[in-house]
Structure 1
Amino acid sequence: MPSALPDGDPVPTDGSLPATALDGISERQVGIYLHVPFCSVRCGYCDFNTYTISELGGHGASVATYADAAVAELGLARRVLGDDAPAVSTVFVGGGTPTMLRADDLVRMLGEVREVFGLQPGAEVTTEANPDTVDGRVADALAAGGFGRVSLGMQSAVPHVLATLERTHDPDNVGSALRAVREVGMQVSLDLIYGTPGESLDDWRRSLEAAVELAPDHISAYALVVEDGTKLAAQVRRGVVQMPEDDDEAAKYEIAESILSAAGFEWYEISNWARRPDARCRHNESYWRGDDWWGIGPGAHSHVGGVRWWNVKHPSPYADRVLAGTSPGAGRELLTAEQSYDEQVLLGIRLTEGLPLDVLRGPGRAAVAGLIADGLLDGAAAVRRDRPAARLTLRGRLLADTVVRGLLAY
C-alpha cells in the first residue's frame, strides 16, 4: 500500500489559507499538479498513491468520472487563492498512469486550469505516460488540447530488469510512442531507473544508450529506493531478491553522467539532464526553488506561501469531499523559518546553478571552504563575481547528503 500521510493540523472545511500565505501571491509563480491515481497493475517497487481499476469503483473513483472530481477541486483552488492569484506558469499531470484516462479527459482538466486561472504565455504543460498508452491518435489529441510535453516511463531497455520492476510495457513501444509525440510537435522526456536488483552495469549502459539513441529532449535517471510496505521491500526482506552492493549506485550514476554528457545532455538537477535550457522541466524546477503549487487529486501535496498541505489518500472520500464543495485536505503545516531554510538548502543545492552563498547562514558559509577542499563543491563557482554559489562537483552529486549536512552544520 502507498505510504502513510504525515501528521498535521486540521484543514478548514473550505480550504482557506492564512492571510499571510496569500500576501504577494500576484508576484509569485504558481503551478498546478494534477494527480491521476490509476494504474493497470501496481508495480512491486511503487510507493506512490496509486490504485488498480479492480480496487476502485463508484463515483469519482473510476477512470470514467475522475475528471469531474479534479475539475471540482480546481474550482476550490480558485476560490481559496482568490482574484490576486496569477495565471499558472506550469501544469504537470502525474500518477499513476495519467493516460489511463481518455485524452479528452486530460484535455478537459487542462481546459479547466485555463478557464479558472489562465495560463501564462509559454506555460509549460506536461503529462506523464506509459509508452503502451500513447499512439498517434492520443498524441494528436493531447497536442491539440494544449499539452506541449510528454514524459514517458521507459525505466529500462532490458527485459529482465523491467520484469523485476513489474513494468508491463513493451520496450519497443517507447520508440513508437516517442515518434508519435514528436510528430505532433511536443517535447519528450524519458524516465529511467537504476539500481534494480539483478541489473548489471552493462544492463544500465544498454538502457542509457537506448534512451540516447531515441534522441529525447530530456532524460531523468533516478536511483531505485526500496520503500517500506512495497512488494519489493518484502521480497528483499525475505531474500527473494538481492539489492546491489553499496557502490553500485555511484558507479551507475557516473556511467549516466558520462554517456549523457557525451551525447549532448547537460545536468541541471542531480537526477535530470536536458539537451537545451528550454528542455528542462520547469514544473519540477519550481519545486526545487520552493515556488507555490496546488496539488489536485487524492494524496496530492500542495505548497502556497509557506503553508503545506496534503489531500486524503483514497479516491472515493476525495471525490465525496470535492464534489460536495469542501476541501479534501487531510492535514497541513505552517513551515517555520528553520524548516524553510533547511528545505532551501536541501533542494537548492541539487541544481546546477548551485545555492547562492548569500543564502547560507554563518556556519554553512564557513563550511564551504572545507567542502571545496574535499572536492565536493566547485571552487570556481564559489568565487565568481556575478553570483558566487555552492555548486556540486560530480563527486559532490554522489555525496550530496554529506554536502547538505555540512551546509546545515549538522
Structure 2
Amino acid sequence: MPQLPDGDPAPSDGALPGAALSRLSEGTFSLYLHVPYCSVRCGYCDFNTYTLTELGDATGASLATWVDAVEVELDLARRVLTADGRAAPVVDTVFVGGGTPSLLGATDLGRALAAVRERFAVAPDLEVTSEANPDQVDAAFARQLAAAGYTRLSVGMQSAVPHVLATLDRTHRPENVERAVSAARAAGLAVSVDLIHGTPGESVEDWRTSLEAAIALAPDHVSAYALTVEEGTALHRRVVRGELPTPDEDDQATKYELADELLGAAGYAWYELSNWARTERGRCRHNEHYWDGGHWWGVGPGAHSHVGGVRFWNVKHPRAWADRLGGGDSPAAGRELLTAEQVTEERVMLGIRRREGLSVEAVPRSGRSAVAPLIADGLLDGQAALAGQLVLTQRGRLLADLVTFRLLGL
C-alpha cells in the first residue's frame, strides 16, 4: 500500500483557511466516499483496502458500521465548509469507490447517498456512481440502487479471459459481467466497464477477446488502464521472484492502440487517455471534476480531498478513522497548501491527457518553446495548436508523460 504524503499537520477540528473556502464558488464540488472493504485483495491492487477477516467486527472498522462513520464525517464536512456563515456548496457528483462498494449491499449504499442529501443541496442533474464487483450485481440490487438515486454503475470487468483474471487474483465469474451490465441497464443506470491490459501472460489476442466482449455489452463508457506493478503488492513480489515477467511497455502500447482502434470503430470516442464514451453524456463527470481542478471532499479511510487549493488526506486504517470521528476530531492526517507551481504542473499534466487538450496559455513560458518540436515529432496535433490548443496525437498519447515533461520546461 502506498504511504500517505508527509504534508503539514491538520487541525483537529478540520478547519480550512478562509481563503480556501472563499474559492468554493469558483468551481464544482463533489464528494468521494471510500469503501475500504474487499472479500479478497487482488494481487495487483495497492489501494487502501482491507479484507473483512483482517478487520473483524470492531466498531468503526466493520462493514456494518461504515455508513454510521460516513454520516459523522459528512457532518464534519458541512461544519467546515459552512464556517463563518458561508453557504454550503452544491454537490454536483458523488462517487462511491473502493475497495468493493457492492459488498455493502444496495440498502447501505442507499443510506450513504441519503446521508449526503440530508446534509447538502445537490445539483438537479446529480451524477452518482458506485463501483461494483459483477458477482454482487443482480436485478434486485440494480433496481434498489437506481431507486436510491444512483445514476451510474462502474463494473470491474478487468478481463474476459480466465487465466488473466487468475493472474490478477480476480475472483469474479466472467459470465456475471453480462448479468451485471444487463441488470444495471434494465434498472435505468448508465454503465461503465473497467479493463486492464498488460497483465503478465496476456497475449494480444487475449486482450482483443476482452475488448470485443466489453464492446458486445454495449456499455456507455469504457475505462482501459495499463497494468502498473506497484511495490508492496502480491503481484510485485511474484515479479521480483521471477514467477512472472515485468509488463512490457511495447506490448502495452500495442494493446492501447488496439483498444483505441476497436473502441473507435464501435462508436466510442476517447476523452481522456484511458477513458472512452459513446456520447458526451456518457463521460464520467466526477473524474472530469478532478481533472478540471474542482473541489471535492473525500470521505472515508485514506480518502484525499481538495478544497480551494488545500489538499488534505485522512488516516488510512478504518479503525483509526472511525475512532477519530467518534472522539469528535477530524480524521485528517495531514494537508498541504498547493503552490502556484504545483497548480500549473497539475493543470498541464491533467489537461494534456484530455481530448479537448490544453490551452497554450496554460503552459509556463519556459515550456512553450517545446510546442513546435513536439508537433514535428508527431506528438501534438499541429492544426489544433494553430487554434491555441495543445492536443495529443495517438502517438502522443502513448508518450504523454514525455510531452508533459517538455511542456513544463523540465
TM-score, with normalisation over the residues of structure 1?
A: 0.98
Q: In structure 1, what is the equivalent of residue 8 of structure 2?
A: 9
In the TM superposition, residue 85 of structure 1 has moved relative to its aligned partner by 2.9
Offset, 1:26: 2.7
1:380 aligns with 2:383: yes
Per the TM alignment, residue 201 of structure 1 is displaced from its structure 2 partner at its CA by: 0.3
SS class of match (1:55): helix
CA-to-partner distance for each residue in 1:122-180, whole Å, 9 max, x for gaps?
01110000000111111011000000000000000000000000000000000001000
The residue type equivalent to 1:245 in the other structure is: D
Shift in Å at residue 306 of structure 1? 0.6
- State the distance in 1 between where 2:42 and 2:36 align: 13
Cα deviation, 1:250-291, whole Å, max 9, x if unaligned, reads 000000000000000000000000000000000001111111
Give 1:107's aligned amino acid: G
Alignment of 1:356-371 (within 5 A): 356-371=359-374
Asked if residue 251 in structure 1 is aligned to residue 254 in structure 2, the reply is yes
The letter of the residue matching 1:30 is F
Match among 115, 139, 147 for residue 112 of structure 1: 115
* 8 Å CA contact retained: 1:376, 1:393: yes
Output aligned runs, 1:1-400, within 5 Å: 2-57=1-56, 58-82=58-82, 83-384=86-387, 388-400=388-400
Amino acid at match of 2:214: A
- Whichever residue aligns with residue 286 of structure 1, its letter is H
**CA apart distance, 1:244:** 3.4
Please report the RMSD computed on the Cα atoms of aligned residues, expressed in angstroms: 0.8
Deviation of the 1:20 alpha carbon: 1.0
Letter in 2 for 1:41: V
Residue 14 of structure 1 aligns with an amino acid whose one-letter code is D
Q: Is the 8 A contact 1:378 1:391 kept in 2?
A: yes
SS of the aligned residue for 2:395 comes to helix
Distance 1:122 1:244 in 2: 41
SS in 1 for 2:75: helix
- In percent, how many aligned pairs have the same letter? 63
Shift of 1:369: 1.0
> 1 CA distance for matches of 2:28 and 2:328?
26
Work out whether residues 99 and 133 of structure 1, in 8 Å CA contact, stay in contact via their aligned partners in 2: yes
| Whole-angstrom distance in 2 between the partners of 1:339 and 1:183 | 44
Contact 1:150 1:187 in 2 (8 A): yes
Q: Is the 8 A contact 2:47 2:99 kept in 1?
A: yes
SS at match of 2:369: helix
SS of the equivalent of 2:346 reads helix
Alignment size in residue pairs:
406
TM-score normalised over the length of structure 2: 0.98
* Displacement of 1:341: 0.6
2:64 match: secondary structure: coil
| 2:50 counterpart letter in structure 1 | Y
- Distance in structure 2 (CA, Å) of the matches to 1:118 and 1:266: 32
Q: Is the 8 A contact 1:60 1:320 kept in 2?
A: yes
Alignment-derived partner of residue 404 in structure 2? 404
Q: CA deviation at 1:324?
A: 2.4
Letter in 1 for 2:197: Y
Question: Which ranges of structure 1 fall in alignment gaps of 5 or more residues?
Answer: none
Secondary structure, aligned partner of 1:302: strand
Kept in 2: contact 1:25–1:85 (CA 8 A): no
Helix, strand or coil at the partner of 1:294 = strand
Cα contact 1:27–1:86 (8 A) shared by 2:
no
Q: Which runs of 5+ in 2 are unaligned?
A: none
> Displacement of 1:28 after TM fit?
2.1
Q: Distance in 2 between matches of 1:237 and 1:188?
A: 37
CA distance in 2, matches of 1:22, 1:124: 23
Q: Measure the CA separation in 2 of the matches of 1:360 and 1:189.
A: 32
